[in-house]
Every structure is written in structure tokens, then in C-alpha cells.
Amino acid sequence: MPDIVYAGRRITADMLTYRPPYTVAYAPLLANTAGVTTTETVAITTPSITFEDGRAYRITLKCLAQSSVAGDTVMLRVRKTDTSGTAYIDQNRKYIPAAGANAPSHFSNICSNTTGADITAVLVATFARSSGTGNALIAASSNNVAYVLVEDVGPAGDYTNATAIT
């Protein structure tokens, strides 16, 4: 449900301009990362984001996973701050059908801040090989941009049981 204006409240320009969903942060990757094995590695870093108290956010990761060996599995995550931060997207394991093949990934999760205070942080997209023997990487180019996108999708109360932003 979109934000509403209660009786007696004024409609301001920002209420008209920033109707959910709207983009809060966008961080693109335009070139392949280096290959790694099982060490979780940062591929994309967003600018600093303020997650406002009482708001919900859609966090999206779009990328191409790749490995040097057929049958490997590449793990993809979006975390807070760094490779040991809270994972907001963590269910992505991409099977690589052939050596050097691109396995497209496009995942989203709804997260909300109900801590009672704004939280400011960067998000990072990470990757590593989760099974197999090859070198994993995130493939990207100007024609196939990998990215992390954060959108404000409205009041946190509209998304009960969303992943908590902490």
C-alpha cells in the first residue's frame, strides 16, 4: 500500500516526487571481476545509504556468475558493509553448466528498518565458489551491467516479517 496523506496534513513536493517505489541507491559493475576460489570477495559496493526508520526497501542483485570449470556452483550475496556483514540476499547458488558460461542471476529481497533509528551503511555484492574446483567470477560489460539496486518500497508496516535491517 502506498504512503498516504492523513486528513489535515499538507501534501509537500517530496511526497509527490518520492512515491514508492523509488531508487535510493544504484551501483553498477561494467567489467569482469578477477577470478576467486572459495574466498568470499566483494564485487560491487554501493554508495552510503540511509535506511530510514519505519521504511521498507527492495534490494536487488543482477549479475552473471561464471566459473572456469563446468559443474561448479557460485555463491552470490548482498551484505551490509563487507564480507562478514549481515546478509540481506543469501539464497543464491548458481550452477555453472559449462566452463566460462554465464549463469544469469536476478534476485530481490524486501528488507525493513524497524529499529527506531535511521541506519547508514554501504551494501556490497559478494561472490565465491561454493562447490567445485574452478575460479569463480562476476561477468559484466557495458552491454550487460551487473548491479545492486536499492529501492524504497513504502512503510515497513506493509511488509510484515521482512528481513530486518540492523
> Is the peptide bond preceding residue 21 cis, with omega within 30 degrees of 0?
yes
* pLDDT of 20: 77
| Cα gap 67→107, rounded to integer Å | 19
| Structure confidence by residue, pLDDT tens digits, 69-119 | 999 999 999 999 999 999 999 977 999 999 999 999 999 999 999 999 999
The stretches of 64-135 forming alpha helices (DSSP H) are: none
Q: pTM for this structure?
A: 0.89
- In degrees, to the nearest 5, what angle opens at C-alpha 18 toward C-alphas 15 and 24? 145
* pLDDT of 10: 73
* pLDDT of 4: 63
The stretches of the chain forming alpha helices (DSSP H) are: 13-17
| Cα gap 154→80, rounded to integer Å | 21
Closest by alpha carbon to 90, among 69, 111, 104, 120?
Answer: 111
Reported as a pLDDT band with limits 50, 70 and 90, residue 1 is very low
Average pLDDT over residues 48-58: 97
What does the mean pLDDT of the chain come to? 92
